[in-house]
Structure 1
């Protein structure tokens, strides 16, 4: 059995429609907007995890990996999903926004509904990839496919290149994750002719990730608190419009 890691609080899972901090709205369930957004985020990531169980058996994957990253302000990077295949390594970041997403690969910040800014998710995933390579080895840097997943509660106004299967930077909906991975692998098989990673390499990287994963709940909680504090200030109204 492949190992799952239970996801705790997630950076940027809060609904972008939240009210000011001093007014914490409660739903009819008694939960705050932040709590409901966190639940939705966990559901979205569970949907992705289910799809990953349906990948070909020779692939390996891990969910919710937290590994050391000396270049991160918290000292760690938390990666939602990693898929190891003979033709490439997929690093997947999940987002729980609702509304229209505006962005481009080279833009520092993206927008939700034209009003709220958030960090370019590919820049965020780049940090995750650098942390992954510290574990797997830098020789795999050209074998990485960066994917960012949004829920179907979003529509995209983004660079069209980010939806093209030929790109190594892909924006997808969570429900189409397995489809995009398999389509991308078909392209890579044509481009690269033969596998880039052997079965032994895949198993070694997989085990190294399991060994490197930080499971200490105290460390994870501190990391998430730092990310949530940063996210609270990063999703701000776009005052330029």
Structure 2
């Protein structure tokens, strides 16, 4: 490799190492079932991840749910980017990782992001969008609206030029101001939920984060069970107990995908059926492997690829941390 190529690649390698360190420390990876590169190269997910990291800096008792799909009455889902369940309130966050100048009001159907006098884009009113999310979230958890806040979070790269938001408990702000705003709200509020109540709401919403059709249907059934019990998640222990017991029995999404992989023996076919990226399917298969899922006689790594991997490991030495990590991930004998 030419010396100048090495010089060019060094900053890239350093950037990846730093980002991987931060990504590994954050709980976003587990909450969103996300990969580093899948997050870095998706501008929407990256903005969501940066917002999640800001939320993790808060003090007090709380849980964060990422990418939850709350069921609506018509059988469809309302997708929420982030939900912060804090002892002082519930914060529903719509992440907009836009740049440019942002114009809009909570009375307009369309908002505008302007990049220069020749380039601009319009997007659906995020205040309305989040209001819909909150409507179904409140119904799912059976909570009042007094303790629920709607936060529209834009990136640091934008300029909130002309925004008019007057709706109660609703704010549009830049990510750099998110932590200070939350601390101010939390500082003036009384404690509303205890740890047990927070956990119950968290696990109820966590069940909504899986995207397979079978899992979505199972969640809808869970909600029906809860509603039939005539209890609120935060007040009725019997309904919460029944819901929690069912949540614990739910098959994880990575197991469901692993079963499909065994059925089709083709990760591309699984990705196509579920509408997922190939990288997501591969991550789920590895997660299932580490959980002890039995793939039977199915080879996860072909002999050709196994030989190639072992050759590369020999180049760096079998005792290196990198080689040991590859051995562990691929299930190869050292």
For residue 208 of structure 1, the aligned residue among 195, 204, 211 is 204
What is the CA–CA distance in structure 1 between the aligned matches of 2:39 and 2:56, rounded to whole Å? 26
Q: Is the 8 A contact 1:135 1:205 kept in 2?
A: no
Deviations along 1:68-127, one digit per CA (max 9) or x if unpaired, are 22358xx11211110111221000001122211101122221111284321110100111
Does residue 66 of structure 1 match 2:69? yes
Which residue is equivalent to 1:86? 87
What is the CA–CA distance in structure 1 between the aligned matches of 2:183 and 2:61, rounded to whole Å? 13
What is the CA–CA distance in structure 2 between the aligned matches of 1:179 and 1:50, rounded to whole Å? 14
Does residue 100 of structure 1 match 2:104? no
Which residue is equivalent to 2:289? none
What is the SS of the residue equivalent to 2:178?
A: helix
What is the CA–CA distance in structure 2 between the aligned matches of 1:102 and 1:37, rounded to whole Å? 27
Which residue is equivalent to 2:309? none
Which residue is equivalent to 1:46? 49
Does residue 130 of structure 1 match 2:126? no
Kindly report the root-mean-square deviation, in angstroms, between the aligned alpha carbons of the 2 structures.
3.1
Q: Is the 8 A contact 2:40 2:46 kept in 1?
A: no
**Structure with the largest fraction of strand:** 1
Cα displacement (A) at 1:134 = 2.7
Which residue is equivalent to 1:55? 58
Aligned length: 185
What is the SS of the residue equivalent to 1:132?
A: helix
Cα displacement (A) at 1:37 = 9.9
Q: TM-score, normalised by structure 1?
A: 0.66
**TM-aligned CA distance change 1:5 to 1:109, over 3 Å:** same
Does residue 197 of structure 1 match 2:177? no
Q: RCO higher in 1 or 2 (8 Å CA, sep ≥ 6)?
A: 1
What is the CA–CA distance in structure 1 between the aligned matches of 2:40 and 2:195, rounded to whole Å? 39
What is the SS of the residue equivalent to 1:56?
A: coil
Which residue is equivalent to 1:146? 150
What is the CA–CA distance in structure 1 between the aligned matches of 2:158 and 2:208, rounded to whole Å? 34
Q: Is the 8 A contact 2:106 2:164 kept in 1?
A: no
Does residue 121 of structure 1 match 2:117? no
- Structure 1 regions of 5+ residues with no counterpart? 9-34, 222-241
**TM-aligned CA distance change 1:37 to 1:121, over 3 Å:** farther
Q: TM-score, normalised by structure 2?
A: 0.49
